[in-house]
Amino acid sequence: MSSSGISYIIIFFFIFIIPYIQSQPIAPPPTNETSPVNLTAVLESGHQFTTFIRLLNTTQVGFQVSVQLNSSDQGMTVFAPTDNAFNNLKPGTLNSLTYQRQIQLILYHIIPKYYPLSDLLLASNPVRTQATGQEGGVFGLNFTGQGQINEVNISTGVVETRITNILRQKFPLSVYVVDKVLLPEELFGTKTTTPTGAPAPKTLPSSDADSPAIDEDDHKSAGSSVKRTSRLGIVLGCAWFCCSVMSF
């Protein structure tokens, strides 16, 4: 066969075969979690959160969380007080709260963003919670501690405690165990001007659910496109190499 015949075969190869190979999937697509994350199931696995589970249910915050986990790309962070934590409250603490304030109390245990443990210490205090903005309140949480030894203290202004355990730490949901109920200053601080018996506002918490989006680098899709580009580079490089060899 003449060398020009071989050249035609090579050219054919590059024009038709390479694009075909390129069009094939490079890697299996990332497997998404098939079923939506179920906060109740996560808490049930911990065996000491029956009161918190019950309150999530009665306030319907649990339902709101499941909707938001499914629709938001920010994820969520939940601080789960143990049953002991609720038992250690002053008697009547929960019952003295109106329904609306029970909702606020539970929303205060949720941050509308996924934080791995060490990232909590990087967030700027006070960190906004799902209750932030309710009745114009800050409802913020302060985190201090040392990332190296996984020590994270939480302060509400009324309560000081620390994260004692990690129930789940995987996007989109992290669940951390606390052994005190996080009592917000807005409801339990000495400076509160509104008595707990005041009539509850009629606004539903769900109207406040869409928190402002926090800008974040979109590094989810970056990885695969980088791989694709470098792969293309290798193929083009081979083509260039082969062509220059053939031209001799």
Ligand X SMILES: *[C@@H]1O[C@H](CO)[C@@H](O)[C@H](O)[C@H]1NC(C)=O
- Confirm or reject binding of residue 126 to ligand X (CB under 6 A): yes
For the beta carbon of residue 39, count every other beta carbon within 10 angstroms.
Answer: 24
The one among 64, 100, 104, 155 contacting ligand X by CB under 6 A: 155
- Confirm or reject binding of residue 157 to ligand X (CB under 6 A): yes
Site string for ligand X, 38-77 (x = CB under 6 A): x-xx--x---------x--x--------x---x-------
Work out the angle between the directed axes of helices 99-107 and 61-71 (0-180°, nearest 10).
40
Measure the CA–CA gap between 237 and 62, rounded to whole angstroms.
55
Name the minimum Å distance from CB 13 to ligand X: 34
Instruction: Say which residue the tokens 């970056």 belong to.
Output: 222
Binders in 26-45 for ligand X, by CB under 6 A: 32, 36, 38, 40-41, 44
Measure the CA–CA gap between 215 and 195, rounded to whole angstroms.
37
Name the minimum Å distance from CB 95 to ligand X: 18
Q: Please tell me what DSSP assigns to residue 16.
A: I
Measure the CA–CA gap between 207 and 134, rounded to whole angstroms.
10
- Per CB under 6 A, residues contacting ligand X are 32, 36, 38, 40-41, 44, 54, 57, 66, 70, 125-126, 142, 144-145, 153, 155, 157, 162
